[in-house]
Amino acid sequence: MIIEQPSFLWNDYELIDSGDFSKLERFGKYIMIRPEPKALWHKSMSDDEWLKQAHTEFKPGAGFGKAGKEDSGSWNMLSKMQEQWVIGYPNVPFSLRLGLTSFKHVGVFPEQSPNWDYIFKTTKECAAKCPENVKPKVLNLFAYTGAASLAACTAGADVTHLDSVKQVVTWARTNMELSHLDGIRWIVEDALKFVKREVRRGNKYQGIILDPPAYGHGPDGEKWKLDECLFELLTGVAQLVAPDNSFMVLNLYSNGYSAVLADTLVRSAFGFGKNLPKGTSLEYGELVLRDSFGKALPLSVFSRLRRG
């Protein structure tokens, strides 16, 4: 099993401290306190030290902890800061517009940066094997504000970015423009419905990225529940991934799923037996954030498939 964390070269993000169900983070020039249910240990710094450094603190609302409302709340401003600002990511590179939302999120999940690096590297490998003037096709499902889409686009892919929320697709388009990129195809739709339609059409992709939530709704009220829908989605994705010169990245941050479970899901959905087909590789692991005191905060698990 692989354990990965953001590169120390990424100067625009830092997990300063974690503990007592919270994390103290810096995004660019702003420092914030946010809830973190997985930070079961004690803080290394005092509460006063946290508050002296932080520009803002997220306060959970009445719905916090309930399915579909686990992140609702408001921000308590501790010192002057902008409500929107831009950070860079040097490894690829691209730019991301961040902002304070009522769902504790700011527009990026920094633990995902090893996946961005993998997507960028693997997409470039696929592009190098494509015929001249042909771009690899990459589909990003549950694509949020688009960091993974930007990684694939920067590497030369023809990217389809799909999310069920129009506002975050608009946010992703802003990130594309800030990164001086273009050509990404934007789709506001239910992911499972889209995948089923693409299977019927016989379409294939060199790369598919999926980072599904525990719960969600499509734009037409379609219900998404991870436990019930994930395997069906993966069996459809298995039919869309090209048989050669292709890849898939599955990330799971909800429901306490393990990396071994992610690996077994992919193997089963793709119909792999005990031994992988020739030319196919499969790796799995955890993505963590490590604070400045060395404590590792595990936030998601992944499975990565490579063909050819």
The model's pLDDT over 223-250, given as tens digits with 9 standing for 90+, comes to: 999 999 999 999 999 999 999 999 999 9
Q: What is the CATH number of domain 2-99?
A: 2.60.40.1180
Q: DSSP state, 90?
A: T
Dihedral pair phi/psi, residue 163, rounded to 5°: -150, 155
Compute the distance between CA of residue 115 and CA of residue 303 in angstroms, rounded to an integer. Answer: 10
DSSP readout, 45-84?
Answer: S-HHHHHHH-SEEEEE-TTTTSTT-TT-EEEEE-S---SE
CA 134-205-232 angle, to 5 degrees, is 175
60: CB partners within 8 A, 6+ apart: 35, 71, 72, 73, 104
Average pLDDT rounded to a whole number, residues 44-71? 81
pLDDT tens digits, one per residue of 105-155: 999 999 999 999 999 999 999 999 999 999 999 999 999 999 999 999 999
Compute the distance between CA of residue 305 and CA of residue 278 in angstroms, rounded to an integer. Answer: 13
pLDDT of the residue at 68: 47
Number of Cβ atoms within 10 Å of the Cβ of 39: 19
Domain ranges of the chain: 2-99, 110-307
Q: Which CATH architecture has domain 110-307?
A: 3-Layer(aba) Sandwich (3.40)
One fold for 2-99 and 110-307? no
